[in-house]
Amino acid sequence: MLTHLSHANVYVLDQDSAKAFYTEKLGFRVADDISMGDAFEGAGAGFRWLTVSPPDQPDLKLILSDYRMGNDEGTAATLRDLVAKGTFGAGVLATDDCQKAYEELSARGVEFVQEPTERPYGIEAVLRDDSGNWFSLTQAREG
């Protein structure tokens, strides 16, 4: 039977830049950074398996995938444009104090497209990674 979600994919425009963003700005830890070479058909030369994990959730890995991986040139170009445009919401990052997290992340240079705002489910801010993907930063309502 299924036990849990272990990996989730996030397309990025530049893996080195994404690695720096997720580790230096969000405080994630690198879980895997492996050059796979030409081992995977259609992945392109130098395929890189790069994953990061939230500091207190090492069993969840975000795959920071190069948008070109496994895609033809036309699809890769479309995907690049969609990522850069901020089309994709990559998930929800939970916090105990949205305002404090917002202030700390802003000080580290994280771009927010929405400041902390009261919502029916709690307090939410919305940030973008360095590729354009957005995440909800959410403090759940108590009770």
What is the 3 state secondary structure string of 65-98?
EECCCCCCHHHHHHHHHHHHHCCCEEEEEECCCH
What percent of the chain shows pLDDT beyond 70?
A: 93
Q: What six digits make up the tokens of 123?
A: 């307090």
The confidence band for 121, taking pLDDT boundaries of 50, 70 and 90, is very high
Determine the topology of domain 7-140 in CATH. 2,3-Dihydroxybiphenyl 1,2-Dioxygenase; domain 1 (3.10.180)
| pLDDT of residue 25 exceeding 80 | yes
| pLDDT of 102 | 98
Assess whether pLDDT exceeds 90 at residue 33. Answer: yes
Structure tokens at 88: 């994709």
37 — phi, psi (to 5°)?
Answer: 60, -135
Q: Is the pLDDT of residue 108 over 60?
A: yes
CA distances from 126 to 35, 51, 82, 110 (A): 32, 22, 18, 10
Per-residue pLDDT reduced to its tens digit, 45-96 = 568 999 999 999 999 999 999 999 888 999 999 999 999 999 999 899 999 9
- List the structure tokens of 36: 């796979």
Cα torsion for 126, 130, 133, 134, to the nearest 10°? Answer: 0
- H/E element, 50: strand 47-53
CA distance 131 to 134: 9
Q: What average pLDDT score do residues 1-11 get?
A: 95
Residue 42: pLDDT band (50, 70, 90) is low
Residue 38 has pLDDT above 70, yes or no: no
pLDDT of residue 36: 77
In angstroms, the CA 138 to CA 122 distance is 7
Cα(130)–Cα(11) distance, integer angstroms: 11
pLDDT at residue 39 tops 60: no
pLDDT at 85: 95
Domain ranges for the chain, please list them.
Answer: 7-140
Contact by Cβ (8 Å): 131, 18: yes
